[in-house]
Amino acid sequence: MASEPFDKRSGWIWYDGAFVPWQDAQVHVLTHGLHYGSCVFEGERAYGGEIFKLDEHTARLKHSAELLDFEIPYGTDEINAACRELLVRQKLNDAYLRPVAWRGSDMMGVSAQHNQIHLAIAAWEWPSYFDPAQRLKGIRIGMAKYRRPDPMTAPSTSKAAGLYMICTISKHAAEREGFADALMLDWRGRVAECTGANVFFAKDGVIHTPDADAFLNGITRQTVIALAKRRGIEVVERAIMPEELPSFDECFITGTAAEVTPVAEIAGQHFQPGPVTKTLLEDYMSEVQPKKAEAA
């Protein structure tokens, strides 16, 4: 299944209010979202048949669309219900979900104020984002050539498809050099994030993570910060410069796809997955599991 092209798979995709056969869920080649990047999306995980923090993901999807100057024509409850029903139709318990919204093909040009807004949701099995054996030892990360843009030049708090163009370029370059991912700086030269995950460091039992002022403040990032504070672990959100990396003992990244993944190296700087990383990895995996209702 992992090697099967996504357009050749079977099952169902929720598309503009109806469930359609997987291979029939298509768009026209002159779709505005393809040519001009007017597209937003979410990445969600289901564990044991329940989608983790679905409300937060749907709210972010709608907010991302607003930042790109369009409104998704479906309410939160309808989107949530479609996600849950899709899991049932796909017969999935542990899965990845991809809601995606875009401007259609009614008008072609930079201005497309009257284009229909489409929404589709797909779900499939997607295990660990990184090789499981490598993940436990800690992944190796390189340094990206491109930087996260100044928020005055792009809507950096949206999960917009166009913002991931430099992420794909950076991840490909890193993989060609034998790394699993790449660390990106922001336009000021500060540590920002990886190509699809937020980054955390630890030293002397204290967690340090970049201020989320130039990149997406991930839902997993927020969850892990809350879990750390629940443990009484101090979390410092601040500007981190790349020359500080040798001062840290531990490093890990977070994201819906990456979950909590230890890092063993960033461009020659080595880290040892330690107690802070291991504790939060375990706490996060416990947190995402469906909670049984307490007895009355």
- What is the pLDDT at residue 127? 77
Q: What is the DSSP string of 133-175?
A: HHHHH-EEEEE-SS-BPPTTTS-TTS-BGGGGHHHHHHHHHHH
Residue whose structure tokens are 């990445």:
43
- What is the pLDDT at residue 110? 96
Is 64:84 a contact under the CB 8 Å cutoff? no
Contacts of 135 (CB under 8 A, 6+ apart): 128, 261, 262
Q: Report the half-sphere exposure of 75 (CA within 13 A, side-chain side).
A: 2
Is 84:52 a contact under the CB 8 Å cutoff? no
Is 85:77 a contact under the CB 8 Å cutoff? no
Residue whose structure tokens are 């048949």:
49
Q: Which two tokens stand for residue 215?
A: 């990149």
pLDDT by position in tens, the chain (length 296): 457 899 999 999 999 999 999 999 999 999 999 999 999 999 999 999 999 999 999 999 999 999 999 999 999 999 999 999 999 999 999 999 999 999 999 999 999 999 999 999 999 998 766 666 666 789 999 999 999 999 999 999 999 999 999 999 999 999 999 999 999 999 999 999 999 999 999 999 999 999 999 999 999 999 999 999 999 999 999 999 999 999 999 999 999 999 999 999 999 999 999 999 999 999 999 999 997 654 44
Q: How many residues does the chain have?
A: 296
Residue 56 CA to its chain's centroid (Å): 13
Q: What is the pTM of this model?
A: 0.93
- What is the pLDDT at residue 136? 72
Interval 227-276: pLDDT, tens: 999 999 999 999 999 999 999 999 999 999 999 999 999 999 999 999 99
User: CB count, 10 Å around CB of 272?
Assistant: 11
In a 3-state reduction of DSSP, which class is residue 254?
Answer: strand
Active-site residue set: 159
- What is the pLDDT at residue 137? 86
42 — alpha (psi -120 to 50), left (phi > 0) or beta?
beta
Q: Which two tokens stand for residue 100?
A: 């995606």
Parallel/antiparallel/unpaired status of strands 259-266 and 269-270: antiparallel
In a 3-state reduction of DSSP, which class is residue 70?
Answer: coil
